[in-house]
Amino acid sequence: MEVIVADGLSQDKTREVIAAFQRAHPDLPVHIEDNIRRTIPSGLNVAAAAACGEFVVRLDAHCIPIPEYAEFCVRAIEAGKGSVVGGVWDIRPGAAGFVAQGIAQAAAHPLGVGDAMYRIGAVEGPVDTVPFGAFRRSLFQQMGGFDESLLTNEDYEFNTRVRQAGGIVWIDPAIRSTYIARATLPALAQQYWRYGFWKLRMLLQHPGSLRWRQALPPLFVLSLIALGIISIFWPVARWVLLAEIALYVLALALAAAQAAVRQSRLLLLPGMLLAMATMHFAWGSGFLWSALLAPKRHG
């Protein structure tokens, strides 16, 4: 077993931390590869290309895997369960305070993330995608690696190609990692804007991979914009707009209140409500902005 770290020419203490880890684990080969392009897919391609073993197990910086993570992944692949194998997230807040707590709860709630099974809990079986993913190195070579034109959603796109080629993406709840959620609403908004923006670019390549949960945020944001413009000329549209906003806030409040009561933490209500609204508006706006720019780039 070897550990390969793709480092995007970091200016912080990343390499010092890696060196300390190497000193603490002298029997474990740890190699650093320069990720010159400094993007996620390029780093994955650099690290996977440098791997020498039969299996590649991906892990990202925002997660903490259980000790058996790699073992369980390899065992599932060897059992023939899937071409790509992954597990579920135990989502933890990135800081103290009700906002960070609300973000972590929203990131694991169906109203926040739809039917993303690795976030909301899953039974073992085939899925559209898994976080990170483990696979044979030969599969990576066969698929041509990760698409470096996509700065986000590169894993979903890779798994889509695997499924289109007849492979199975398999989730196993025994494969667990702790994911550290964003700590603030601006950081969450930036993250989900990026998700929405690059999801549209991914869908331009694989339109058949669109799922209902991915279409709702941009449609919702678009409806608010449209009703806002129409209401200038047609007063009835103002009431429709107000009703839509009221129903939306009510749905978020009910979901947040349920979680707050269940956990006896009343401050989860405003934290979750703000977090879910941020996720929806940022994702939907990023998607729509990407759609506006797409004709210029792809025309």
- pLDDT tens-place string over residues 2-48: 899 998 888 888 889 889 988 998 888 898 999 999 999 999 999 99
Write out pLDDT tens, residues 31-40: 899 999 999 9
Q: Is the pLDDT of residue 164 over 60?
A: yes
Confidence of residue 123 (pLDDT cuts 50, 70, 90): confident
Q: Is the pLDDT of residue 132 over 90?
A: no
Asked if residues 102 and 13 have their Cβ atoms less than 8 Å apart, the reply is: no
Q: Which residues pair with 125 in a beta bridge?
A: 171
Q: Is the pLDDT of residue 298 over 50?
A: no
Asked if residues 134 and 119 have their Cβ atoms less than 8 Å apart, the reply is: no
Write out pLDDT tens, residues 237-272: 999 999 999 999 999 999 999 989 988 888 889 999
What average pLDDT score do residues 116-133 get? 81
Residue 229 lies in a domain: yes
Write out pLDDT tens, residues 277-287: 999 999 999 99
Cα 202–chain centre separation:
14
Residue 246 lies in a domain: yes
Look at 185 and 15; give whichever has higher pLDDT: 185
Write out pLDDT tens, residues 65-90: 999 999 999 999 999 999 999 999 88
Range of the domain at 78: 35-298
Write out pLDDT tens, residues 91-116: 899 999 999 999 999 988 888 777 66
Nearest to 197 by CA among 106, 107, 294, 128: 294
Share of the chain above pLDDT 90, in %: 66
Q: How many domains does the chain have?
A: 1
Residue 235 lies in a domain: yes
Residue 2 lies in a domain: no
For the entire predicted model, the pTM comes to 0.88
Residue 172 lies in a domain: yes
The reported pLDDT for the residue numbered 296 is: 57
Q: Is the pLDDT of residue 295 over 90?
A: no
The reported pLDDT for the residue numbered 299 is: 41
Residue 77 lies in a domain: yes
Residue 227 lies in a domain: yes
Write out pLDDT tens, residues 191-205: 999 999 999 999 988
Q: What is the CATH number of the domain that holds 244?
A: 3.90.550
Residue 231 lies in a domain: yes
